[in-house]
Amino acid sequence: MVTSLTATWQHRPVPLMTNVFDADCEFDPEDPDGYRSGQAFVGREAGGSANTVKVYELPPNQSSCPYHYEYDEEWLLVLAGAPTLRAPDGERSLKAGDLVCFPVGPDGAHKLINRAHETARVMMWSSSREPAVAVYPDSDKIGVWPGDEADTILLRRADGARDYFDGER
């Protein structure tokens, strides 16, 4: 006997899916040494749009990005390897299965470094969307991604020290 719930389920579209362990990570040849990591947009591949979900491969002695924080909560799940996490309270080694939440703002600052001899694979996700802002404490930079590539900007905080009405008429 088929109930109306079963009939409804049978007629639903099949959701897209991807496998985070099999996803092919693409490397950008322009990335400098120390930041050569590959990424796969697994959330998009699975049909998602509300969250940004990426898998990163970090070869030995490489990082995914500089030490930074954002104004969206971010999450990290280690899938393979033993990367090192730098956070405001210091560094710690991670292992497969470790799940970390980076809170909004300076308390969520982080950098992932692979100091191990084998490639590390991690998944990161957040509700990030444009416009977005990231702060890089080591270099005293702020990055702004408004959604239009022509308006994207990275600047040192001192360069942006202007009065609100500076240049206005």
Q: What is the pLDDT of residues 76-100, one digit of tens each?
A: 999 999 999 999 999 999 999 999 9
Q: Report residue 134 as tokens.
A: 């990231």
Residue 5, domain member (yes or no): no
Identify whether residues 153 and 122 lie together within a single domain: no
Identify whether residues 113 and 68 lie together within a single domain: yes
Identify whether residues 151 and 114 lie together within a single domain: no
Q: What is the pLDDT of residues 108-150, one digit of tens each?
A: 999 999 999 999 999 999 987 778 899 999 999 998 888 888 8
Residue 7, domain member (yes or no): no
Identify whether residues 28 and 69 lie together within a single domain: yes
Identify whether residues 95 and 137 lie together within a single domain: no
Helix (H) or strand (E) holding 8: helix 4-10
CATH number at residue 85: 2.60.120.10
Identify whether residues 44 and 100 lie together within a single domain: yes
Range of the domain at 158: 130-169
- Give dist(CA 68, CA 48) in Å, integer: 25
Contact assessment for residue 163 and residue 148, using Cβ atoms and an 8 Å cutoff? no
Identify whether residues 112 and 86 lie together within a single domain: yes
Q: Which of 79, 75, 69, 139 is nearest to 111 (CA)?
A: 69
Residue 50, domain member (yes or no): yes
- Residue 160: pLDDT above 90? no
Contact assessment for residue 144 and residue 130, using Cβ atoms and an 8 Å cutoff? no
Residue 3, domain member (yes or no): no
Token pair 């100091």: residue? 115
- Give dist(CA 69, CA 132) in Å, integer: 11
Residue 144, domain member (yes or no): yes
Q: What is the pLDDT of residues 9-59, one digit of tens each?
A: 566 566 788 999 999 999 999 999 999 999 999 999 999 888 899 999 999
Residue 56, domain member (yes or no): yes
**Burial category of 167 from C-beta neighbours within 10 Å (exposed 0-12, middle 13-18, buried 19 and up):** exposed
Q: How many domains does the chain have?
A: 2
Identify whether residues 76 and 135 lie together within a single domain: no
Say how far residue 129 (Cα) sits from the centre of its chain.
11
Task: Kindly report the pTM of this predicted structure.
Answer: 0.84
Query: What is the per-residue pLDDT for 14?
Result: 64
Q: Which of 139, 116, 124 is nearest to 20 (CA)?
A: 124
